[in-house]
Structure 1
Amino acid sequence: MPFPLPLRPLPAPRETVLSFLSRFATMNAAEMSDFSIDLGHQIRRFLDLETAALDCLAEAAGLEPAIRDELASWTGVPAGDVRMAFRGEAFVSRALRNPVMRGCPLCLQEDAQATPGHPERLMAMRGDWLLRSVNLCCHHHHPLVPLWEVAKPAERFDSVARLRDLAPRIMAGAFDRPCSAPTDYDLWLDMRLETGEDPTWLAGHGVYAVTTICALFGMALLQHRSPEASIGDRREAEAQAAGFAVLSQGETAFRQALRDLARSSGGTQIAPRQTFGKLYVALDDYLTDAAFDPFRTMLRDCILETWPVAAGERVLGEVLPARRLHNPRTASVGGSCIASVFWWYLRSFLSVLSSVRPVCVVVFHWP
């Protein structure tokens, strides 16, 4: 087979390798899996973005090395240990690989306008749609919507085969949803992925860690403000925006927001895990991921200056060598006075207790 082939597509901005391969195959009247064999490699090697397969694809399509690398960077290259390199950043694979394929229907409609008879041939799947922390197309201000769900990667990423049936509905507006202005979070993430530029304090932190913390901390904030609110796509976007609004201001703002959230806890909702919800759980789960270390340290500092953690207890991966704080109950256990008398003493003589907070919430240093 002589290269480059005469029938070959032009890569769309942000298009993935597999979307390009699927469109390339269709232009040559072939299925993606068969076409990959014609190019000299099994489809699995393209799914894994092996260098030899990418080089062959670039030669067949007449792509310059820079264009080939751009396609790969918007796809996610396996980097071992369930990791992927995506736009120069490290992500866990599940952040980019999911049976549900999403997209912006307005982008796909725009792609198809040049060839109305075969719209699926021009509809390109963008790489940013793969990233689960992206929820909005910043070009059209349209939310990303589920397009199809397929378990097998070879079938899932054969986008033309999937779009062939969906294209009429996409062109008819069946997937259109109300548009909304992008939030600061949306714009920040879009620019960070496109150019790598970041004018905020977050420039020194990885995108995966930041987007995870934004979503989980934002959810904790929203849960505190309105505990009965439902959780859905819109709620997730609101959480990302709320978390980013704090984190983008810098470390001092984030630390203060953690303190405010901790000190607002009352009644039975007082344990760190209850107060911070999935943020606490995630930072406890990602103990071996150094990208989360700065955020873990800040949350741990907040916990140790707010709650009476006992010596020997493990907090986010570190064992506390000595108790820093007491509350009336823990102090009375170590002393001679009973809890009720001790609590009366504190309320009488310490002005900080004038708000009459629950016993288990008030903490203090005690020898």
Structure 2
Amino acid sequence: MMLAPHVPFDPEESPLSYAARLAGIHTGGRLIPFLRDLEFEPEDMVSNKEEALSRLAELSGVPIGDLHANAPVPLGGRTYVLRGELVTAEFLANPHTMFCPACLAEDDRGAGRRGRWQWTLSVVRTCPRHKIALVRRTKKRWDDPFHELDCRVPERGEQLEALIAQSPKRSISPLQKYVINRLNGKAGPDWLDAQSLEQSVRASELLGALIAYGPGQRLPELTFNDWDHAGRLGFEFTSGGEVRIREALDVQLRQFDNANGTPGAQRIFGCLYKALAYPNSNKEPGDIARILRAFIIENIALSAGTNVLGEKLCERQLHTVASLAHEQDLDSRTLNDVLVAAGMIPEDAPSHYTIPAQEGRNVAGRVKRMVHVISLPHALGCARPLVDQLFSDRLLTPIYYGRPGTRGRTQKAVDSEEITKLVGELHAKAVEMDVEADGFAPISKVAEKAKVPAVTVVHMILGGFLERVFRRTGQNGVAALRVDPVEVNRQVAVCTEGFSPMAAFEALKIPRDVGWLLTDRCGEEVSLPVHWIAGPSGDRKIPRFDPVILADFKGRYIHPAQIAERYGLRVGEVVGRLKRRGIRPVLSRAEIGVDFYRGSILELDLFT
């Protein structure tokens, strides 16, 4: 049996709305009695069950495919299929009734009110035709879920026009537009299309809620229009995929740069984290959880075994100073100073500033093995002047202790492993003997007679320039070595060509650290080339500086201390005059420790 007369089905209408129109046209009454008279189970029609849709198609003559296209058909377990997309009950607007008052006003002037299928989706909050916010009516009566618009929206005429005037005007949310396009079979952004439709919407809205309302926002307190705003913001990032999502997470993380204590993931990402970590259902959240989990692990110090969005962290990836000090049983202040000096954390780093775990452990290991400068003469078996020369020629690497720019920030210690390695290399070049050899003498005495620094003789031994080197049995360090003065005098000219690092840096009136940083910049505009003298063994090379290159550097570049000395001014006055003239250094103190200017600024008559 087919109902007569035939009532056309609107392609934008929901099957439930179409059934209500049929009831009004054929009986002049309400939907539920109409359905019962035609042997429908009313609840089946509300739920768009297959049996109900098939019966409606049979009675109305509308193709079943047209009805299916506009209805979320239940699969069981609160899951539905809509136009090939799997969604859950939360994705639908039920039990609320959604409508556009402007659309209903047009319907009232035409063939009667129709409920659009798009209104059944929770993400659709703006009328695409009239660009106004949809009105949302909550359930009050038992039969409200049937969404009979003539009953659910009693307003007519002027009252309906008043509703239209009250509805906020706005553009369609790009997230809403994406959802409708996807349901219409159109491709969208890759990352979103790779998620289920519901995951795409949920990820966009949750991320947007975090951005718009902050981590402390309670999601149940957000209004219908709040979620629309959140979806707009979140879609801006989710539509760009993982890269843009990470950008949003990084902006959120940076807001806690100056926070007190050690803020954790829940404090930083708040509502987003909690929604993914403690969902109200067993729904898979999608790739947003993986992205947030990876971002947290990469940016927040977490101990091994910590549960991060359902997965346990196998091993610690990051440390704070406090956690590293605790793990390594070190004083946190000492460790902090060494980490600052090593460039691993900024001087004013907050307590939650993170350090790669293994790199931090490497520094902590050096701290544990520190031999303080005052103990180096004993550890090396040499006098203090040779210790300074070993630092100057980079045969020893200082572990700095103290904050940059503070008084006393000098080499405070050396890694004991480095001392062991240097002494081991020297001893490996020597032949052990039980008694003193005639004509041989300790390094310090031979260097004094040859009128060269003791470090030059050390270089000769390491580089293989000296063939006859002995070591007294039972003695340790540099003091155990004996060399031939004649052999040293024969090789000294080759090994002392040019300036030593100490002499070169003194000539340029720059600290040793600055001098070596200039050599490390070889190839840059402001740099200081070093000449390496290779010995027969090739194991070690001797650093020397060409006097011509030093003179050229001194002529091309100048720093405030040199200007102050030349003109009898205070350094602060020199810097002030340069700033007032807007003259910027060609290489800044922030980069290298000293401001270098072009020597041509002396021609500007700024300092006389």
Normalised to the residue count of structure 2, the TM-score between the two structures is 0.53
Residue matched to 1:318? 311
Match of 2:101 among 102, 105, 113: 105
Alpha-carbon shift at residue 331 of structure 1 (Å): 0.6
| Deviations 1:161-201 (CA, angstroms, capped at 9, x unpaired) | 524623346543324423122243332233223x1212312
Alpha-carbon shift at residue 25 of structure 1 (Å): 0.8
Residue matched to 1:199? 188
Residue matched to 2:135? 145
Alpha-carbon shift at residue 45 of structure 1 (Å): 2.2
Q: Give the letter aligned to residue 359 of structure 1.
A: S
Residue matched to 1:184? 174
Please list every run of 5 or more consecutive structure 1 residues that lacks an aligned counterpart in the other structure.
116-121
Alpha-carbon shift at residue 317 of structure 1 (Å): 0.8
- Structure 1 residues 330 and 226: alpha-carbon distance in aligned structure 2, compared to 1, 3 A threshold: closer
Q: Give the letter aligned to residue 102 of structure 1.
A: M
Residue matched to 1:364? 356
Deviates more, 1:21-30 or 1:253-262: 253-262
| Deviations 1:132-153 (CA, angstroms, capped at 9, x unpaired) | 222211221111112453353x
Residue matched to 2:13? 15
Aligned residues: 350
Residue matched to 2:155? 166
Q: Give the letter aligned to residue 14 of structure 1.
A: E
Alpha-carbon shift at residue 40 of structure 1 (Å): 1.4
Distance 2:68 2:176 in 1: 25
Rg comparison, structure with higher value: 2
Report the 3-state secondary structure (helix = DSSP H, G, I; strand = E; otherwise coil) of the residue aligned with 1:353: coil
Alpha-carbon shift at residue 210 of structure 1 (Å): 0.9
The answer to whether the aligner puts 1:212 opposite 2:202 as a matched pair is: yes
Residue matched to 1:246? 237
| Deviations 1:275-329 (CA, angstroms, capped at 9, x unpaired) | 2222212222359534x33221111100000111111111111111111111111
Q: Give the letter aligned to residue 211 of structure 1.
A: V
Distance 2:114 2:148 in 1: 8
Report the 3-state secondary structure (helix = DSSP H, G, I; strand = E; otherwise coil) of the residue aligned with 1:143: coil
- Is the Cα–Cα contact under 8 Å of residues 215 and 239 in structure 1 kept in the other structure? yes
- Structure 1 residues 341 and 45: alpha-carbon distance in aligned structure 2, compared to 1, 3 A threshold: same
Aligned sequence identity (%): 23
| Deviations 1:87-126 (CA, angstroms, capped at 9, x unpaired) | 32122212214332121111112222225xxxxxx21111
Distance 1:288 1:226 in 2: 24
Deviates more, 1:43-52 or 1:320-329: 43-52
- Is the Cα–Cα contact under 8 Å of residues 39 and 57 in structure 1 kept in the other structure? no
Match of 1:278 among 254, 271, 276: 271
Distance 2:94 2:48 in 1: 17
Report the 3-state secondary structure (helix = DSSP H, G, I; strand = E; otherwise coil) of the residue aligned with 1:172: helix
Give the structure, 1 or 2, with the largest relative contact order (CA under 8 Å, sep 6 or more): 1
Match of 2:343 among 319, 336, 350: 350
Alignment of 1:28-177 (within 5 A): 28-29=26-27, 30-70=29-69, 74-115=70-111, 122-147=112-137, 149-150=139-140, 152=142, 154-163=143-152, 165-168=154-157, 171-176=160-165, 177=167
- Is the Cα–Cα contact under 8 Å of residues 148 and 162 in structure 1 kept in the other structure? no
Distance 2:278 2:12 in 1: 32
- Is the Cα–Cα contact under 8 Å of residues 48 and 74 in structure 2 kept in the other structure? yes
Normalised to the residue count of structure 1, the TM-score between the two structures is 0.86
Distance 1:90 1:98 in 2: 16
Match of 2:251 among 253, 260, 265: 260
- Structure 1 residues 25 and 306: alpha-carbon distance in aligned structure 2, compared to 1, 3 A threshold: same
Distance 1:207 1:169 in 2: 39
Distance 1:49 1:232 in 2: 28
Q: Give the letter aligned to residue 90 of structure 1.
A: L
Distance 2:256 2:107 in 1: 51
| Deviations 1:40-82 (CA, angstroms, capped at 9, x unpaired) | 1221222232322222111111112222222xxx332222222
- Structure 1 residues 235 and 45: alpha-carbon distance in aligned structure 2, compared to 1, 3 A threshold: closer
The answer to whether the aligner puts 1:222 opposite 2:222 as a matched pair is: no
Alpha-carbon shift at residue 85 of structure 1 (Å): 1.7
Distance 1:298 1:25 in 2: 50
Distance 1:150 1:13 in 2: 29
Report the 3-state secondary structure (helix = DSSP H, G, I; strand = E; otherwise coil) of the residue aligned with 1:277: helix
Distance 1:40 1:163 in 2: 24
Distance 2:154 2:248 in 1: 48
- Is the Cα–Cα contact under 8 Å of residues 24 and 30 in structure 2 kept in the other structure? yes
Residue matched to 2:395? none
The answer to whether the aligner puts 1:5 opposite 2:10 as a matched pair is: no
Distance 2:154 2:129 in 1: 25
Q: Give the letter aligned to residue 129 of structure 2.
A: H
Alpha-carbon shift at residue 253 of structure 1 (Å): 2.0
Residue matched to 1:119? none
Give the root-mean-square deviation of aligned CA atoms: 2.6
Report the 3-state secondary structure (helix = DSSP H, G, I; strand = E; otherwise coil) of the residue aligned with 2:277: helix
Distance 1:8 1:317 in 2: 56
- Structure 1 residues 150 and 225: alpha-carbon distance in aligned structure 2, compared to 1, 3 A threshold: closer
Distance 1:353 1:213 in 2: 35
Residue matched to 1:289? 283
Q: Give the letter aligned to residue 351 of structure 2.
A: V
Distance 1:362 1:252 in 2: 22
Distance 1:76 1:34 in 2: 23
- Is the Cα–Cα contact under 8 Å of residues 95 and 131 in structure 1 kept in the other structure? yes
- Is the Cα–Cα contact under 8 Å of residues 252 and 268 in structure 2 kept in the other structure? yes
- Structure 1 residues 331 and 249: alpha-carbon distance in aligned structure 2, compared to 1, 3 A threshold: same
Q: Give the letter aligned to residue 54 of structure 1.
A: L
Report the 3-state secondary structure (helix = DSSP H, G, I; strand = E; otherwise coil) of the residue aligned with 1:79: strand
- Is the Cα–Cα contact under 8 Å of residues 311 and 323 in structure 1 kept in the other structure? yes
